[in-house]
Structure 1
Amino acid sequence: MVPQVARQLPRLKSFHRLQIILQHLCMSKHTDSVHEVLLEKKGCAGVITMNRPKILNALSFPMIQQIYPQLKTWEADPETFLILIKGTGGKAFCAGGDIRAISDAGKAGGRLVQDFFREEYILNNAIGTCQKPYVALIDGITMGGGVGLSVHGHFRVATEKTLFAMPETAIGLFPDVGGGYFLPRLSGKIGYYLALTGFRLKGRDVQKAGIATHFVESEKLPALERDLTSLKSPSKENVAELLNSYHLKCKIDQEKQFILDEHMEKINSMFSASSMEEIMQNLKKDGGPFALKQLETISKMSPTSLKMTFRQLQEGASMNLQDVLTMEYRLSQACMFMQLDGNMVTKIRWKVALW
């Protein structure tokens, strides 16, 4: 009997070592996900810091799962008076959702494709309905999921490093995360223009377009954060007053004309249409350099994506945020029947009945 036990000992030790290795791997994975986002109480504020600088603070599913409950906790906490969100690394606030993870899940047949969008949109709605002042410091690249984490809040502070875009029509998708709500509510038809062409706005132009509420030098953000978190039981008006003081002191590009100013009359005219086909006809009929450039850009986009986006904005203009996000969730799932080649989407199959 003893020899038999002795023969089993090496196997038991190997099994034990394997268990320890697996435990360490699980702990390491958990630790990595925990550190993807930092959630801290600083003075009067709850501070959310996206902490994936190497991949431009791309929004992952574990980040969403951590941010949402903490946001709701702070919203209900009588000792938390405002919520602030920012990114690390100096290059991006948040460049979008973690598309690679979603693609990998799609290839493996996992539920992340459903769960990611549902939980992300629930978080977007929580931001849009948050009862506490919500301040997003959109320093650097702000696209896709990063827009959803910022644009629905009370205050969005852009800097000279901010780069905003909703480029989804170029990849066969649509400007989600509530794009159907905020884009048609921008001045004139600029929201339709940004959504359909993926045009990029930089620096102060993000504020002049109505996407950001304030504009501050990037180097002043640490001081702004200290002043915000040091406020004593601030109201929304107190927060606005402090942000206004920083905004008014900022002289960067103060006299610079809004990049689309000279084209707004044409944008409002050509993008005022009842269909995507009519917009294309308007651009062709105009025939000027600006119109032809937009025609060239739009011609490179997914035709299905363009038509879907146009309808999304038409419908969203008269909906509340929650209804828009419900519509966009259905659209996202209709879009997620895809064939993948490596990490690149090579073909997206659309369902006919989108509504």
Structure 2
Amino acid sequence: MSAENNLVISVQGVLGIISLDRTSHLNALTLQMIQGIQSQLDQWRHDPEVQAVLINSNSPKAFCAGGDIRYLYDSYQAGNTQYQDFFATEYTMLSTLRNFPKAVIVMMDGYVLGGGFGLAQACHIKVTSEKSRFAMPETAIGFFPDVGATHFLSRLDEVGVYMALTGEQISSSDALYLDLVDYHVPSENFAKLEAALSAAPILNPVEIRKIISAFITHPVESELQKRVGLINKHFSYPRLEEIEHSLAHTSDARDQDWAKKMLDLLQQRPRMAKQVSLKLQQTGQNLSLEKCMQLERDLQDIWLEQGDFIEGVRALIIDKDKNPQWQIDNVNFEKTLEKCWPAWSKQYIDSLCYK
């Protein structure tokens, strides 16, 4: 067993284990952690002693609360391009995970947010517990859901739009209902499941699923499922203004409290982040995962300069005054998109432009 870069690496039987170990920061991913995951996968790819990989957490509170946004902020403020290197390295690692030739299991206990959500979605077999809470909360800091959310949220239709715009957390029951995870195992049984996987002489996908099936239980009913009709009603509109108008003018008294809460949330988010998040969800439905990821990468490289991310992090993380001064408009944003996006995406510029 070895520990470095806030990762604990071990091999138990034929199972390679990568444990996120930055518990003081809810395992927010640093560049070194991302590089460490990539390096370990590269080592295990052709190692006959490792038949499968498990990614889990040493934190009792979180699997992973996202990326290290303070690092991105500091890089931009220092005037260097390390924030772009962070995104590029992260996306390479996510691609390696998705295409890894051996089964990659992820066990999630606690918060699964932002970059942690994207990390989990890149794994092949996803196990969650009753303690898990999932969200893509990027609009709250003036950003947009990335790490593949343009693909995996857009497959959820209106629910994906709702999650992308509001950043609301969903439960493990909700995630199961939406097919974002595969299995529910009680938190108290995670150690037993890991021990069973470590003791198995063969760990191919069929055997892994057989082992997990011995520990699964039925979670409580999904609360989100009860609200799908309501979400579909309000978040099916093609324009942000129509969504907010629908929430503001709901006619059913039983739904007014929820609608008001969602409207209040949306009105706290910057317009640019909401507009682009909405358009990415709409466009992502028609794109492959690879092209969704490329769109996100193109936007990431210009967003810290053009978007509200820096101001959002300042207000919520650095100064903690919780009073971000969002941009009202950005007339240069459309021109920037036209310059930075590759030729294959030109047909989508009109729908993605900030208008």
TM-score bracket for the superposition, by shorter chain length:
0.7 to 0.9
- What's the counterpart of residue 8 of structure 1? none
- What's the counterpart of residue 305 of structure 1? 273
SS at match of 1:124: helix
2:176 alignment partner AA: Q
- Note if contact 1:75-1:131 (Cα within 8 Å) is conserved in structure 2: yes
State how far apart, in whole Å, the 2-side matches of 1:73 and 1:93 are.
23
2:86 alignment partner AA: F
Instruction: Give CA-to-partner distance per residue, 1:225-244, whole Å, 9 cap, x none.
Output: 11112222322121122222
Segments of 5+ residues of structure 2 without an aligned counterpart are 342-355
- What's the counterpart of residue 332 of structure 1? 300
Segments of 5+ residues of structure 1 without an aligned counterpart are 1-31
Instruction: Tell whether 2:111 aligns with 1:147.
Output: no
- What's the counterpart of residue 108 of structure 2? 138
1:286 aligned to which of 229, 237, 250: 250
Residue pairs, 1:2-13, within 5 angstroms: none
1:285: how far off? 4.3
State how far apart, in whole Å, the 2-side matches of 1:234 and 1:40 are.
16
1:96 aligned to which of 43, 63, 66: 66
- What's the counterpart of residue 200 of structure 1? 169
Instruction: Tell whether 2:129 aligns with 1:182.
Output: no
- Note if contact 1:170-1:198 (Cα within 8 Å) is conserved in structure 2: yes
Q: 1:57 to 1:303 in 2, by over 3 A?
A: same
1:237 alignment partner AA: V
TM-score (norm 2): 0.83
1:33: how far off? 8.9
1:242 aligned to which of 211, 215, 231: 211
SS at match of 1:336: helix
Percentage of pairs with the same residue:
32
- What's the counterpart of residue 83 of structure 1? 53
Residue pairs, 1:249-288, within 5 angstroms: 250=217, 254=219, 256-288=220-252
Instruction: Tell whether 2:82 aligns with 1:108.
Output: no
SS at match of 1:239: helix
Instruction: Give CA-to-partner distance per residue, 1:248-270, whole Å, 9 cap, x none.
Output: xx25xx3x321122221121232
1:343 alignment partner AA: I
Higher mean Cα deviation, 56-65 or 77-86? 77-86
Instruction: Give CA-to-partner distance per residue, 1:30-69, whole Å, 9 cap, x none.
Output: xx99241122222111111111111111100011111112
1:324 alignment partner AA: C
Instruction: Give CA-to-partner distance per residue, 1:59-84, whole Å, 9 cap, x none.
Output: 00011111112113323333322111
SS at match of 2:55: strand
- What's the counterpart of residue 343 of structure 1? 318
1:97: how far off? 0.8
- Note if contact 2:34-2:89 (Cα within 8 Å) is conserved in structure 1: yes
1:222: how far off? 1.0
- What's the counterpart of residue 213 of structure 1? 182
Aligned length, in residue pairs: 318
**Which of structures 1 and 2 has the bigger CA Rg?**
1
- Note if contact 1:103-1:343 (Cα within 8 Å) is conserved in structure 2: no
1:145: how far off? 1.3
State how far apart, in whole Å, the 2-side matches of 1:347 and 1:81 are.
51
Q: Alignment RMSD, CA only?
A: 2.3
Instruction: Give CA-to-partner distance per residue, 1:144-192, whole Å, 9 cap, x none.
Output: 1111211121111111211111111111001111111110113x52111
- What's the counterpart of residue 233 of structure 1? 202
Instruction: Tell whether 2:96 aligns with 1:126.
Output: yes
2:213 alignment partner AA: N
SS at match of 1:286: coil
- Note if contact 1:33-1:62 (Cα within 8 Å) is conserved in structure 2: no
Higher mean Cα deviation, 224-233 or 85-94? 224-233
